Amino acid sequence: MNKPLRLANRRFGASARGLLLILLLLLCSCAKREDPQLLSQSAIKGGQAQPQGGPVYTDALGRSYAVKAYPRRIVCLAPAITEILFAIGAGDRVVGVTQYCDYPPEAATRTKVGGFSGATVSMEQIRLLNPDLVILSAEMHSRIVSLLDDLGIPSFAVEPRNFSEVYDVIALLGDVTGFSDGAEKVIAGMKSRIAAVEDQVRGTDQKSVFWILGTDPLMTAGSENFISEAIRLGGGKNIFDDIKERWPLVSAEQVLLRKPEWIFMGDDMTGAAMPENVIPANLRVQSIPAVKEKRIAVIKGDLVYRYGPRLAEAVEVIAGILHGTDNK
């Protein structure tokens, strides 16, 4: 598995070690299907009644999607999307997922349509599932869209980059699937949990954090991603939040100069190794406070790499590590 795909897998749920630069995709296949028929209110079990005329929504690729009927058969091509649909109450509509869609546990019972990148997705398997809608990543799956169009299968792309956009995407998927009430509850719950953390850490000193995403080369999180925002909400400060690049490569010298008080990494980085042994040898120096004080923490990567409801839990975990808060 190459380096960009390893980071993409980590970001969207795969427990594989690796790096970044999200850009791969491709696949093939063809066939046709009929447009889904309009659903009556009684046919939309568990969701809300479809309003006459059907609203039109714009996805992350700038395409218009008209909701002629709420989808009854949905294929999800990213673990975060799968988590969102189950959380808002639309899990019964999910018929296909990737091999990395492992949460909630019920997701593992759905038919697998391939891996995460476009090149590993089976278009034939998707076709056989006869979905009303495929929900996918705008960055990772943009080239799949035309293949789905050829098959006559509607698709909808999402790509949130911060917590605010995550809330928007959850609300949007609720509207598109007919579970807007469930989406509102999920969003309210996330905001409430995060607000509670912010109250607890308000007035405390921000702890500086270096998050290791990869070691060869040394990769971290810049300001434009969930990791940096989760650190801030949890009462910390990403030492590289001045870098606008989402996943920058940095030098050991830069880390030494910024003297992080904490070093974080996802559990995908460690495997059977002790976390201190994952840190490059040239960073295991006493001039770094985190190393000197042995403040090295491993966090379940899926909590923060996936743009779903569990981001609130990620904030709670980070606050607990940095400030000893208890949000359980």
CATH topology of domain 192-323: Rossmann fold (3.40.50)
For residue 236, what are the contacts with CB-CB under 8 A and spacing of at least 6? 206, 207, 208, 209, 262, 318, 322
Residue 21, pLDDT > 70, answer: no
Most confident of 18-22, 93-97, 121-125, 222-226: 93-97
Average pLDDT over residues 207-222: 96
Alpha-carbon gap, residue 84 to 168, rounded angstroms: 12
Whether pTM > 0.85 for this model: the answer is no
Q: What HEC string does 164-189 produce?
A: HHHHHHHHHHHHHHCCHHHHHHHHHH
Based on the number of CB atoms within 10 Å of its own CB, is 161 exposed (0-12), middle (13-18) or buried (19 or more)?
Answer: middle
Asked if 25-178 and 192-323 have one fold, the answer is yes
Instruction: Say whether pLDDT at 145 is over 90.
Output: yes
Segment 21-28 mean pLDDT? 31
Mean pLDDT score across all residues of the chain: 86
Tally Cβ neighbours within 10 Å of residue 223: 18
Percentage, residues of the chain above pLDDT 90: 76
Residue 101 has pLDDT above 80, yes or no: yes
Of 1-15, 188-202, 268-282, highest mean pLDDT: 188-202
Helices (H), the chain: 3-12, 79-88, 123-129, 144-151, 163-177, 180-201, 226-233, 252-258, 275-278, 289-292, 301-305, 311-323
Residue 192 has pLDDT above 90, yes or no: yes
Domain 25-178 sits in which CATH superfamily? Nitrogenase molybdenum iron protein domain (3.40.50.1980)
What is the residue type of 155?
S
Domain coordinates in residue numbering, the chain: 25-178, 192-323
Average pLDDT over residues 257-276: 91
Phi/psi at 95 (nearest 5 deg)? -110, -20
For range 219-234, the mean pLDDT = 94
What pLDDT was estimated at residue 131? 98
- What is d(CA 309, CA 204) in angstroms, rounded to the nearest whole number? 26
Residue 116's pLDDT is: 76
51 in Cβ contact with 68 (< 8 Å): no
Q: Evaluate whether 186 touches 88 at the Cβ level (below 8 Å).
A: yes
- CA atoms in the 13 A half-sphere facing the CB of 40: 2
Q: What is the pLDDT of residues 30-81, one digit of tens each?
A: 333 333 333 333 233 345 555 456 899 999 999 999 998 999 999 999 999 9
